[in-house]
Structure 1
Amino acid sequence: MTSRGKIMLQLALNDNILTASESIDKNIIQTMKNENSNLQMPISSTSSDYSTGKNEVRQEEYNGEDNNYDSSCDTLFGDNSSDEYVPDPEDYINSSSDNEIDNETVDAQSNNEPMEEENDILMEDNNILVSQAKSNENIVGQNEKEHILPTVHRKKKHFQPKIKVSRKRQRNVDEWKKRNATLCRQRGEAYTNYKGELKPAKNIVKGTNLCPEKCRRQCSQVFTIEDREKILSSWYKLDINAKNSFLYNSIKIIPTHRQRTGALKHKTASFQYNVTYGAKQTITCKRAFVSLYNISMKKVDLIQKAN
């Protein structure tokens, strides 16, 4: 190839390079404008000034006729240009920490807002309930005042008891023979049992001793006949329940102090029989105790088992 052909080829290549660089620069400028319009907050004053200044320089360079395209391409695409902005790492850290704090405060406020709304709703509901309760109390009080009537004291009517009139035979407990016999036996009076046998009244038998002469307490000499009659009459004035309680309190249990080794059956306790006459209490044997109250041995044994 001749030198002239080389020159023409070089010029054609330069024209292609210029057209390509111009189209690239236009695209870059358009993208930068779009980014600046989309940003809500500027990063910093220095970056904004730098971007505007750089855009003006680029616009002047590409609008002029005597421009050095090689140098412009180097400034645009070169990595070692002195006009390139490099952010400070400390500013980046501070800005990130500030953004985190702002985000936390925003989150806290967003979390507190629904709670405050719920509290307001609850307070309104409580106020409504309190007002309703007060209104209900007032209504109830008014109703009570309206329905209260003055008390009128009226004389009670006295009606005579109605006499039962019936064809059936009426119940008459006082005429029962068995019940009358039971009451007479409790009072110590003579009665006829269900077999038709006549039972005599309870009286002391004169000329008899309360206990044998061998008794070490000598109970027959302690109580005279008059004392025995008074004790018996006072005894039969009591009903059946009072008699049982009186006997229960008159018999006292005393534990044994000594036991025989050769005994087949050991005695666990002994009984003390007390007779109350007036304000004095006398200890007697079991036989004298039974004779004074004119009761059977079986009655005393049952009370001892109950103790």
Structure 2
Amino acid sequence: MMSTEIMYDYYVEKMGEGDPVIFLPAAGYPGNEGLNIAEYLAEGFETHMVDLPGIGKSMGIQAHQIHSLEMAKWVKEYLDQQKFDKVSVIGHSLGGALALAFAVHFPARVKKLVLLDQGHKPFPRIPRREFGMFAYAVPLLNIAAALFGKPILRLLEPIFSDNDDADSNERVKRFCEIFAIEENKYIRKAHERNIGFSVDMLNLYFGFYRLQMPKLLSQVKVPTYLAYATFKGVDKQEYENTLEHVEKMKRHTQPPITYRPVDSGHYVHWSDPALLPDMKLFLEQQ
């Protein structure tokens, strides 16, 4: 039986000139979450800030279940459409999961990999930080989603949709208070577009939930720069959890991974101004 490859549509904002860099954002944000990175890299690199599949304006991954290979193929097709042979990839959070999957499955297409707070520790089985008390239902819902695919996701969509009607100024203020980050134009820009909820988004979320991130990171063969949030002074429990997992990863993984701690919460690229020149230096190194 002949199989056909799906041609995906991508929503992308581009900045700069030079070697291509793909930026993949966190869940709930458009590709321009990486605007401050793109601006810093503008002399020497052309950054493609891509909306994630089903999140924002990019077409969702059309699969009954999403695994790391489907994520990797989605990134690969963008390179194929742009006729890029090899690129550097930067990914934050959920975007980092797609970037890592791509680097593992298609290492010949990756020059450098930059992971922003992703890969060094597993996503919690009970994700209380993300879903509150509702998190205790996530493992069971994941099983249902794996068994029944999109039909069950359509039933779950109203449960996960938060219907946040707050304007962007209110969202920015709330975000900065929660994550103890000083407000800036890049955070405001990333919050301008309120990302609508979709079944494709939920399908991607559960695909990410099923990934074993440290296992994927241990398989990477390309030069990798991992900037991870220590949560020092932000969350004592998460600080200890992060320290434990980073030390474990360092014992069980060999170069080419460079570990870069950032004493902040999850949004490391908005928290540490010194991170941007360090990232650029890594990308420029031969």
* Structure (1 or 2) with the greater strand fraction: 2
TM-score (norm 2): 0.16
* Structure (1 or 2) with the greater helix fraction: 1
Higher relative contact order (CA 8 A, sep 6+): 2
Q: Specify the structure having the higher radius of gyration (Cα).
A: 1
TM-score (norm 1): 0.15
